[in-house]
A = this chain, B = another copy of it.
């Protein structure tokens, strides 16, 4: 299956539509196409060949956008790398992917149109490293088809209009950020690119910049609501896609109350971002739950009855063909034709997916499974708690004990006993934390995920 080179096609059918605004520069799709073509020539002039892996240090600027589109155009494979990674980390990922070169700037060269005029959907588009909350980052192979079906499924789920404009304020080397750039060209939506997340700038873009969509992690949503000062959110936003970690129901409630068209989303790199989403306008129940995208199937391993939790399995055209250079891990992750996500959740009687936690993060205490995210959500719903992280500590009697690190709201002072009693009113006893720490901030990755190995260190345990 082949489709026309998507930026060239978009440049031809929506030439005058805004494609990108970043750092004071605005480009239409026709202008973006011209710039990307110049970069493609620059890459060819450097001797790049089809199939070469090209590392792109994904700072949130124009050069990254140009490279993201130019590398596939010359038939090379994009390997996005974190702009905040150390040189050692970059070198490790570059070696793992066997990249030919690592680029921080987009070389431009004059000449005639360069590059392929179509993409085979089975061909490899990129190798995207997982954010690595546990273990060593692995390179997830994503095809042109994976990205294309993700963009299409997303557009059908969230809605699509000619004046869609998507704000990208998350790192572009993660699949969530990368997906914004690709969806833009595939679907014809403009991108407004910020080099960092600043709540006031985001609000101003919604109010005055024509921004209709934004991708956020839960902590960003929390900070955005705080920046609104309890007032209502500016109108004009059609969708705030919130992913990258569990969304506490209280935060969902607060967002809905402020008028944010929030769309809680479960996704992962191995499925080219979105897997299941609660579309804006369907948040009335208050539950954080989601429906699969139109071409994505979701099951719970073992097909237990509704409400029973197990590993989430995913199948469909967005699912990766595997990990770069890791046949063993690929075979394990894709056994039986389904992606074994390592995440735990359940399907309710109405067919909604509820995501509980990473399987690796599950706490087993007295033979019972405790999902840290569930306990964290309860703690965050306490008015005195701003943030909370929960882990299992080794325990000779129970196997593991539930431990909680909490960030208190300024001026608030619930005692450990008060917090424990609060948990007991909302959770079965086995799930209530019995070890407590007060901290100023929780250890999180760049994309906002809790790093549980660092959480363990807070309690004096080696990761």
Point out residues on A near B: beta carbons under 8 Å. 1-4, 6, 9-10, 12-15, 121, 145, 152, 155-156, 159-162, 186-188, 279, 281, 291-292, 294-297, 316-317, 350-351
Contacts and interface: CB of A to CB of B under 8 A. Distances in A.
Contacts of A161: 159-161
26 contacts: A1-B1, A1-B121, A2-B317, A3-B317, A4-B296, A4-B316, A9-B292, A9-B294, A9-B295, A10-B294, A12-B292, A12-B351, A13-B292, A13-B351, A15-B350, A15-B351, A152-B152, A152-B156, A155-B160, A156-B186, A159-B159, A159-B162, A160-B161, A161-B161, A162-B279, A188-B294
Given A15-B351, A161-B161, A295 B3 contact: yes
Given A155-B156, A159-B161, A162-B279, 5 more contacts: A1-B1, A9-B294, A10-B294, A160-B161, A186-B294
Contacts of A292: 9, 12-13
A159 B160 contact: yes
Nearest to A164: B159
A236 B294 CA distance: 26
Contacts of A187: 156, 294
B316 A3 contact: yes
Contact of A317 (B1, B15, B156): B1
Contacts of A296: 4
A341 B161 CA distance: 30
A161 B13 CA distance: 21
B291 A4 contact: no
A192 B57 CA distance: 51
Nearest to A279: B162
A2 B2 CA distance: 15
Contacts of A159: 159-162
A3 B318 CA distance: 11
Nearest to A151: B156
A210 to B, nearest CB: 15
Contacts of A350: 15
Contact of A155 (B4, B13, B14, B155): B155
A59 to B, nearest CB: 29
Nearest to A4: B297
A188 B292 CA distance: 13
Given A4-B316, A317-B3, A291 B13 contact: yes
Contacts of A155: 155-156, 160
